[in-house]
A and B are shown apart, each in its own frame.
Chain A
Amino acid sequence: MKNTSSQSKASRSNLHQAEFWLQFCFAVISCLGGLILASGPGAEAIPAIAISFSVFGFVLVDRLQLFHLPPIGAYVAMGLAAVYCVGNFWDAQTTGNEQMIAVAMLLVLVQAILMLQQKSPRIFEQIGVFCLLQLVVGAVFNDAIHFGLLLSVISVFAAWALSLMSSVAASEGIRSRAVSPQVALASQDVTPNQAPSSLEAPVMTLAPVMTEVSDLGLRHRLADHWMFRPIGNTVERVSWVVAWSPDSVPSLAGASSKLQVFGMCALTPAILLVTALFFYGLPRTTSASRLGSRGNALVGFSDTVRLDQFGQMLQSSATALRFTMTDRRTGSSYIPTSEIYLRGRVLENYEPDFSLSRPVSTWNAVPLGRISGSQRLPLEFTASQISDRQLYDGVDVNVSCNAMKQASLFAIAPYHVTGKSKKIVHAVDRWTLTRKDRNMIAYPAIDYGFGTNAFFQGQQSAVVTRTSTLGRMLSSTIAGQDSAALSTEVKAATKAGDRVIDLSYAARSRTYRPDSYLSDLTEFDDAAMPTLQRLAQDMLSSIPPSQRTTEVIAKAFERHLAVAGGYQYTLNLDSEVPPGTDPIEQFVAVDKRGHCQYFASALAMMLRAVNIPARLVVGYRTAEYNDLGQYFVARQLHAHAWVEALIDRDQLDESHRLFGQAPSSEYWLRLDPTPGDSEMPDRSGGNVDQVIDMAENLWDKYVVTMDADRQPDAVTGISQQSFFSALVQGASKSVMRLRRGQLGTGIRLGGWSSLPGVFSWPAAVMAVILGIGFIGLAKRLRSWLIRRKKQQKSNSEADKPSVAFYADALDELSRIGLHRQADETPDEFVSSALRHASGAELVAPLQVVTEAFYSACYNEGDALSLSRDEIDGEQKLSLAIEKLNSGVRSILDQPRPR
């Protein structure tokens, strides 16, 4: 009785535990499903509703059972929620984002109503279905990495819950208890009692004598069908047979916990593998679409930049782009020692607007010609002298730019074409890149690449060669003048047959004005900026004439703004600008505080004041490096503005290395007057941030933006190379590095990250699969061998006899190694027992048992049919069996010889 009650207790415990975990899992799923819909503004209420109702439902409805929503109330609530949400949906002015929020809200509200209902398998199924729908909506509108993270967590809990549901499904309709037949016979009530557990079928009372048979047949079979069965308890119908199974439900509930472990350990890898195979193997017909990015695209840089535009950008840490730099010679990551300037847009015209109460200035780009802004990237310049080639570092840059609202891209000048430059075009003499496909409302993420020789020993060159006259000619505006006005140079170049020139275009070009661009670069309103002019003149005069080169002058101005002038960097632009005052004048004369746009604008104006051509360049300045992924990150807060001054070659300082770019008579000198430490690279971020950033990068690269172009790369892990050749190449490179003593940049993070190119995901996956296959094969072989040995052993043994006492005797003797063979008769077995070392003393009782066995088998009448005249026949057998058992026990108790 004690065993029964303890078993019963354990069974109840299993049941309650399974019920608890089932409720818990679905509450978590409900909560996470709401979280997955939270994205962007306007959806703040969704996660709040999901979390609160999940907790509320689990604690108050499921566990404490304080109340629950009746079915009719649930239907009414769902109807109201649908009316509320759909009403928002059909509004003509509702945007796509708002429609998405309406759909998400509807899903969350319905799921919240389900959580308030009393749980049954049907309710659990509906919660699961709504979670699936939430995943679908989330997949469409939310492509952030937290979708992937939440999906993983939801998957774990969903698998857990489904394994519990399989036990619920198996136990559906199985009763575990029945009342006493006496009590049941006296009862005329066929309505079942309330089940204590949702996992347990209602207690079944016995039905009285069945009086009506008319309800049987099709109607009852339909009522039994799961589609028509009402939610919740059902009324049992009359039946002439009652069945219950006390052990089934606890057995099923108890096994569910073990099934979870099995599911996690054994099935998860298989599911992940199939998912990966499906995702990466499915042929793509369209490019990746990102609805989520349309509302969240970054601002980007256009050809018009307001002076206060950077203030908002500089406060955002959203990632604008990620780029890798690879040393072309060694193949390893190239990490500069200073900050990297990525140019986005070049702006020449400065236009203040005094019509507003608070004057605002804008920098605009001079309109480009139709062709000049859409050129292919120039070819790489290769120094004619081999010794010169050692004086610059050839670097390949691969950029992953996030979605932006502008077509402009970012580059390190001077650049040249590589294999990844197909989607981008180059603006002549501005050294800026743009997407080939323009005229879109928003531009999706894009991957592109270029090469650059701008670096040497980790330092980015501050000078960029000016495009040749021929090249610049394409950037001129078309004016209606006679072709005879073309300069001598152009004519000479045309005659040389330079392929760059489109002769027909050149013929159509009426006027080439080489100075028109320069005039834009020197345009200065001294009336609007007297302080600036005076400052420039004063500084100019302070430089000794013998040292007064253009670069010296420019550097002096730069130093003044950055260091000596007492200017302060701030993003807070709350100072009042008097009407009619130029903001730059205000900055220089009064405020002396501002952000990089003000500093750059002031420097540009100062240079123009002394007739030095200068233009504004906007882009990113970053030194953030992710050691884990070995790439640089440019965020919105890295947006920067600097100045480029056009300086003649002979005015440049000799320290500038110009070997990596085509020689020219003029160069663009980069000047950055913004105060701040820009010497040491900023390897900021922390390990956690780096991990998060890399995860986002991988998520974006290998999941969200996966398309037909990326698929081969994703599958093989290495682009444009065969797997094995890349493996060999990577191995040889790593050996070379080891010989040189270079252990890679990621050494402090350990292991694989320091050997890029050797580690390959496909190889790792293959190794894991092979390893699992090998282990499985070894296990199978071992079990086959064991089974074969057992079978051989069992084949030689006789079948178990049907006479119970003889079978028991044989079992007892087998404990000491005495096995009756298949070809042995009982008598022969006695003889063989006699020969056995341990069996001699057992022969006598065994003989008695054998004789009794023969009698039982072959004599008619009762078993044990010894002679009726022998009064102790049965006693004799009992004594023999007892002697046999005690003999076996004594043999087993004997100490075994060593």
Chain B
Amino acid sequence: MNSPPYPQTIAQDPIAQVPSVWDSDDASPGVANARSARLPIRFTRLGLHCLFVAIFAMAGGAIRGFNLLLVLAGFLVAILIIQWRCSRRAIESLGVTRVLPDGAFAGTPFRVQYAIQNRSRWLNVWMIRVDDHLTVDGSGGAVNSILSRINYDSLRSIACGIGLIRIQQTAVATCDCLIKRRGRYRFFDVQLSTSFPFALLNGIRRELSEETFWVFPELLTLGRDWKQHLPTQSGSGAATARRSGVGEGEFYGLRPWQRGDSPRQIHWRTTARLGELAVRQTEESHSVDLCLVVDAYVSPTEGADASKSVNTTSGEPAVLETTLRLAATLAVQLSEDRQNQLMMLAAGKEIHSLGARGKRSSPRDMLRLLSDVEGQQANDLTGAIQSAWSLSGGRQSLVVLSTRSIGDALQASSSDESGSPDLSELLSAWRRRADIKWIDVSDNTSNGWFSNDTMHGNWGGHVVSGRMTNAQKTNPQVTNPQVTNPRATSGVEAFADWQRRQHDDGVTP
């Protein structure tokens, strides 16, 4: 099993406390240390023309004594000198920090922000262009060399700009992006350039800043009764019921003692304080405690039809993609309730696992796991089920999202002569408890409780935390979808909002 190297800490407040590329000691963990390089000033096309004319005028004026040519040459030389100094000074005084969201859903726009600092004490900087580069990361991040990780065929650039940054100020340039395919991507160099003031020379500064970015599977739209398709007895209540037969439920308040109340419900501290009996009010818990296993099986026929792509994680069959989308949707939906305990495993080319009994997995990590899943014909579903049993202690419900029916899976397992345990035997434990649900995504007749409509058509699309709120219903046809919390009017607020959600998720203190 491979645990993806997900960063454990997040940059605290990327805007207010921009980790400067010059202050490597203060760089927040999780943000790749950046190196900067200032490239030589380059002539633009018009600048080259000016230079040629200036040289010609200088030569002609000096040789033949045409003073007006010398005036013209002097003028052009002066402009070029001023342009050179301004460009150089401007580009030297700039620093940039890329602020990426925590992730994005495929097909949903997300916003990349660039905090550009002007450290100059004298000069405003004008007409700054930001060019960023990203590529598909097919290496899993294991290779250390930057050059090895760059997939040149898939290298793309995105661009944005700012008109003016005043002295000693920081401005934020934004670029909205949309990536269609889930997977892991890598942002590389951020290039700042300016041809201020006369567009004759281009000053370029390159910040070698490498960051990994995940694009999660698109979310599906779930029907109202989607929970009914999960195992009937789930959650801590179910486990408690199995142990003690009595489910006390969730505490939510106190009330005076009434006849018939169980003495066990008396809240003694409050009783002592008030001088009269007070009992706890509880609500039956509907929390979910389950293990989600994704069977990333690709049939031979589907694998042959898969589109070629430079993205190693794309080109997967549609069924598998739908499976992953369903898994992502369930992970997001179930994570809304903090009481839910969710563990996830995926059986594809490799077995990915996340979470353990008693430990709450963050939806972000689960989405990242799903982003990295690659389908395979001979996937080790049995091994994944076995891991699920050992990690959950056999106490969690099991939900298997598969691209095939359970029969096909059992048949494939039985025909496997590698000596691995029988899948049927592994599943029998859950079967006996009726605590398993096998969802065959390829079976269209029984899967009416979810649809392929992308969720962001109906939701505002919170991408940073992966938690969809009820307040974000918008029109289906969004001409310019808001990619962050619409309530946020600035990058600072958006990230403060994100940070609060991180608190809620228990990611950071």
Q: Is B one of A's binding partners?
A: yes
Residues in A lying within 8 Å of B, measured CB to CB:
125, 128-129, 132-133, 135-136, 138-140, 142-143, 147-148, 151, 155, 159, 162-163, 165-171, 173-174, 177-183, 185, 206, 209-211, 213, 216-217, 226, 239-249, 251-256, 258-259, 262-263, 267, 270-279, 282, 284-289, 291, 703-707, 780, 783, 799-800, 802-804, 856-857, 861-863, 868-869, 871
Contact with A along B404-433 (1 / 0, CB 8 A): 000000000000000000000000000000
> What residues of chain A lie closer than 8 Å to B63, measured between beta carbons?
286
Query: 7 tightest CB-CB pairs across the interface, nearest first?
Result: A255-B163, A243-B158, A278-B74, A274-B78, A139-B68, A245-B160, A289-B65
Is B264's CB within 8 Å of the partner chain A? no
Given contacts A166-B195, A181-B107, A244-B176, contact A278 B78 (CB under 8 A): yes
- Chain B positions within 8 Å of A275 at CB level: 71, 74-75, 77-78
Give chain B interface residues in 116-148, CB to chain A under 8 Å: 121-122, 124, 126-129, 134, 136
Question: In whole angstroms, how far apart are the Cα atoms of A173 and B130 in the complex?
Answer: 11
CB distance from B268 to the nearest CB of A (A): 11
Is B309 touching A139 in the complex (CB atoms < 8 A)? Answer: no
B226 CB–A CB distance under 8 Å: no
- B401 is an interface residue with CB less than 8 A from chain A: no
Bound Cα distance from A703 to B454, whole angstroms: 73
Residues of chain A contacted by B200 (CB below 8 angstroms)? 162
CA distance A800 to B13 in the complex (A): 10
| Bound-complex Cα distance A267 to B254 (A) | 75
Whether the Cβ atoms of A183 and B17 lie closer than 8 Å is no
Q: Is B500 an interface residue (CB 8 A)?
A: yes
Our pick among A217, A241, A703 for the contact of B177 (Cβ within 8 Å) is: A241
A residues in contact with B509, CB < 8 Å: 802-803, 856-857, 863
Query: Could you mark each residue 166-190 of chain B with 1 if its beta carbon is under 8 Å from any beta carbon of chain A, else 0?
Result: 0000000111111111000000000
Residues of B within 8 A of A278 (CB): 70, 73-74, 77-78
Contact among B162, B179, B181, B314 for A251, CB-based, below 8 A = B162
Does B485 interact with chain A (Cβ within 8 Å)? no
Assess the B129–A213 pair: CB atoms within 8 A. no
Residues of A within 8 A of B82 (CB): 267, 270-271, 274
A-B contacts, 15 listed (Cβ < 8 Å) = A125-B46, A132-B49, A132-B50, A169-B127, A174-B160, A178-B109, A211-B307, A217-B152, A245-B160, A262-B126, A267-B82, A267-B86, A273-B78, A276-B74, A289-B64
B4 within 8 A of A: no
Is B481 among interface residues, defined by CB-CB distance under 8 A?
A: yes
**A866 to chain B: closest CB distance in Å?**
14
A173 pairs with B159, CB closer than 8 A = yes
Please encode chain B, from 447 to 481, with 1 for each CB lying within 8 Å of some chain A CB and 0 for all others: 00000001011000000000000000000111111
Q: Counting CB contacts under 8 A, is B383 at the interface?
A: no
State the Cβ distance, A548 to closest chain B Cβ, in Å.
Answer: 60
Tell me the smallest distance from the CB of A530 to a CB of chain B, in Å: 58
By the criterion CB–CB under 8 Å, are B127 and A252 in contact?
yes
Q: Which residues of B contact A167 (CB under 8 A)?
A: 127, 163
User: In this complex, what residue of B is CB-closest to A138?
Assistant: B68
Closest CB in chain A relative to B172 CB, distance in Å:
9
B156 close to A (CB within 8 Å): yes
B208 interfacial contact with A, CB 8 Å:
no
Tell me the bound Cα distance from A255 to B508 in angstroms.
40
CA distance A840 to B2 in the complex (A): 56
Quick check: B78 and A252 within 8 Å, CB to CB? no
Is B225 interfacial (CB-CB < 8 Å)? Answer: no
Q: Is the CB of A802 within 8 A of B176?
A: no
Q: Determine whether B292 belongs to the interface, using a CB cutoff of 8 Å to chain A.
A: no
Q: Is the CB of B67 within 8 A of A258?
A: no
Does B194 have its Cβ within 8 Å of any Cβ on chain A? yes
Chain A residue, CB-CB nearest to B127: A170
Taking a contact as CB atoms closer than 8 A, the residue among A206, A226, A255, A288 that contacts B126 in the complex is A255
Which residue from B13, B74, B86, B128 sits with its C-beta under 8 Å from A170?
B128
Q: Spell out B's residues near A (CB within 8 Å).
A: 12-13, 16-17, 44-46, 49-50, 53, 56-57, 60-79, 81-82, 86, 107-109, 121-122, 124, 126-129, 134, 136, 152-154, 156, 158-164, 173-181, 193-200, 202, 251, 253-254, 267, 269, 307-311, 314, 338, 454, 456-457, 476-481, 496, 499-500, 503-504, 506, 508-509
Contact present for B178 and A178 (CB under 8 Å): yes
Closest to B160 in A: A245
Cβ contact within 8 Å between B127 and A241: no
CB distance from A577 to the nearest CB of B (A): 47
Residue of B46, B67, B126, B180 touching A129 (CB-CB under 8 A):
B46
In the complex, chain B residues whose CB is within 8 Å of the CB of A242: 177-179
Chain A residue with the shortest CB-CB distance to B78: A274
A804 pairs with B17, CB closer than 8 A: no
Decide if B197 touches A181 in the complex (CB within 8 Å): no
Interface pair B124/A262, CB less than 8 Å apart = yes
B69: A residues at CB distance < 8 A: 136, 139-140
The closest CB in chain B to the CB of A122 belongs to B45
Instruction: Enumerate chain A residues within 8 angstroms of B194, measured Cβ to Cβ.
Output: 166, 170
Measured CA separation A285–B58 after assembly (Å):
13
**A211 neighbours in B (Cβ, 8 Å):** 307
Residues of chain B within 8 A (CB-CB) of A170 are: 127-129, 161, 193-195
Contact (A256, B158) CB under 8 Å given A166-B199, A213-B308, A241-B134: no
How distant is the Cα of A262 from the Cα of B122 in the complex, in angstroms? Answer: 13
A139 to B69, CA, bound (A): 5
A856 surroundings in chain B (CB, below 8 A) = 503, 509
A178 / chain B contacts, CB cutoff of 8 Å:
109, 176, 178, 480
Complex Cα gap A277–B254 (Å): 89
A256 cross-chain contacts in B, Cβ below 8 A:
127, 163
A282 with B70: in contact, given A271-B79, A274-B78 (CB under 8 Å)? yes
B66 — which chain A residues lie within 8 A by C-beta? Answer: 139-140, 289, 291
Q: How far is the CA of A803 from the CA of B509 in the complex (A)?
A: 7
A-chain residues with CB within 8 Å of residue B81 when the two chains form the complex: 274
Contact across chains for B197 and A259 when beta carbons are under 8 A apart: yes
**Complex CA–CA separation, A148 to B509 (angstroms):** 70
> How far, in angstroms, from A324 to B487 measured CA to CA in the complex?
78
Q: A169-B202, A251-B164, A862-B506 are in contact. List 15 more A-B contacts (CB 8 A).
A: A132-B50, A136-B56, A140-B69, A162-B199, A166-B197, A167-B163, A171-B161, A179-B479, A239-B156, A259-B197, A278-B73, A291-B66, A800-B17, A869-B269, A871-B254
Docked complex Cα distance between A390 and B65 (Å): 46
- Report how far A263 CA is from B178 CA in the complex, Å: 38
Q: Which A residues are in CB contact (< 8 Å) with B158?
A: 241, 243
- Which residue in chain A gives the minimum CB-CB distance to B196? A166
- Are the C-beta atoms of B180 and A128 separated by less than 8 Å? no
Chain A nearest Cβ from B116, distance in angstroms:
12
Distance A245 CA – B129 CA, assembled complex (angstroms): 12
Please name all residues of chain A whose beta carbon is closer than 8 Å to the beta carbon of B454 when the two chains form the complex.
181
Residues in B with CB closer than 8 Å to A140 are 60, 66, 68-69
The answer for the CA separation of A182 and B181 in the assembled complex, in Å, is 15
Known: A245-B174, A270-B82, A288-B65. A213 touches B153 (CB 8 A): yes
Find chain B residues with CB under 8 A from A181 CB: 107-109, 178, 454, 456, 478, 481
Which residues of chain A are near B45, meaning CB under 8 Å?
125, 226
Taking the nearest CB of chain B, how far is it from the CB of A476, in angstroms? 41
Determine if B74 and A279 form an interchain contact, defined as CB atoms under 8 angstroms apart: yes
A185-B107, A274-B74, A274-B78 known; A245-B164 Cβ under 8 A:
no
Q: B478 touches which one: A174, A177, A180 (CB < 8 A)? A: A180
> How far, in Å, is B174 (CB) from chain A's closest CB?
6
Tell me if B307 and A863 are in contact (CB < 8 A). Answer: no
Chain A residue nearest in CB terms to B124: A262
Task: Tell whether A241 pairs with B500 under 8 Å between CB atoms, given A704-B67, A704-B68.
Answer: no
Check if A182 sits within 8 Å of B477, measured CB to CB: yes
Q: Are A163 and B129 in contact (CB under 8 A)?
A: no
Residues of A contacting B477 in the complex (Cβ-Cβ under 8 angstroms)? 180, 182-183
- Residue ID in chain A nearest B489 by CB atoms: A3
B-side contacts of A282, CB under 8 Å: 62, 70, 74
Contact A279 B308 (CB under 8 A): no
A279 to B70, CA, bound (A): 6
